[in-house]
Amino acid sequence: MAPQIRHRLDYHRGSVNSAIFDASGSYIFTGGQDKTIRLVNSTTGDLIQTYLGHGWGVQGIAVSKDSNSLASCGGTDRAVYLWDVSQAQLTRKLTGHSQHVDCVAISDNGSIIVGGSFDKTVRVWDTRSSNSPQALLQSLDESKDGISSLVLTQTEIIASSIDGHVRTYDIRTGRVLIESFGGQPVVCVRIVGGGKCLLVSSMDGSIQLVDRADGKAMAAFSGHICQSYRIQCDANDSLVASGSEDGLVYVWDVLRGDESGSAKYRLGGHSGIHRHVVHETSLPKPYRIVHQEEDGDDAEDADDMSWVNRGHEEKAKRRIRLKLTVDDRNQIQEVECG
């Protein structure tokens, strides 16, 4: 049975580019093409607060574990914004990127902010620093193309890139610890398996479970379509989910090995076992334009978009985001796609 829609939130004017829960799950932060961030009660669906200050559409948002600090990025602002959540006030504007900032991450206590940009760099700011107004700590420039996704842990920064690589950095030194893959553009990376694995989605229509220790693939998931859209994936300890260009959400059971359902899951294997699809949820096929001004004209020229120069113009302009929620019996409760 398809999950039921609990709330339909229509507080934005235009496309909604990002939506995340806070650590408690009690609140939802959404970022829209209307240049606003909205804070919503996830239980009632009521609008609590609106954050104003962006000059362009909001592309990415991240909230600290204590829910006191919010980081956001978007459009031609070419900056990361830091907000006081309770006061709905912009506290800092972190600059340094030369092109669109498309993804952002924040530490548990809100002191470290990371931005990923079309300028091929990952920039790290320490908001506790008093040495400079911008507090730029590091600039990581190993990528050969735009940064598509970021994960921040207490000791590492994990960045995926359209150049086909996932790079894990030591947050203290900025040194690359592991560089994996090297093929199709990587569009999404997530930490799963109790922090021991990465879930990596690429534009060749594959999702791979990767051992963080050595960067090797342990399993692969297929059946969905990912060729023209930047599609996000998500997982818990037993389910993997992804959006798809055919308008479906695919969910695989990692405890089942093949189409017959026999248990052939091998955690240490590197054979790329295809997992059985256990759910397909019919959803509309949403997309959003990430390089568009309010009047509909393209905001940037080709020189300002590394993906365009690599022939990925249409792929760079569309994204599907996915959030899957399951209960303690692994029954799907909510699917958000937008």
pLDDT at 138 over 60: yes
DSSP string computed for 88-99: TEEEEEEE--SS
- Give the integer Cα–Cα distance in Å for 219 and 331: 23
Q: Find how far residue 277's CA is from the centre of its chain.
A: 23
CB 240 within 8 A of CB 199: yes
DSSP string computed for 128-182: T--S-SS-EEEEE---SS-EEEEEE-SSEEEEEETTSEEEEEETTT--EEEEEE-
Q: For 198-224, how does the pLDDT look when each residue is reduced to its tens digit (9 = 90+)? A: 889 888 888 888 888 877 888 888 887
Q: For 182-192, how does the pLDDT look when each residue is reduced to its tens digit (9 = 90+)? A: 678 898 888 88
Higher pLDDT, 314 or 214: 214
Confidence (pLDDT) at 326: 54
In the chain, % of residues over pLDDT 70: 72
Confidence (pLDDT) at 77: 84
- Give the integer Cα–Cα distance in Å for 220 and 162: 20
Q: For 9-38, how does the pLDDT look when each residue is reduced to its tens digit (9 = 90+)? A: 888 998 888 888 998 989 999 999 999 999
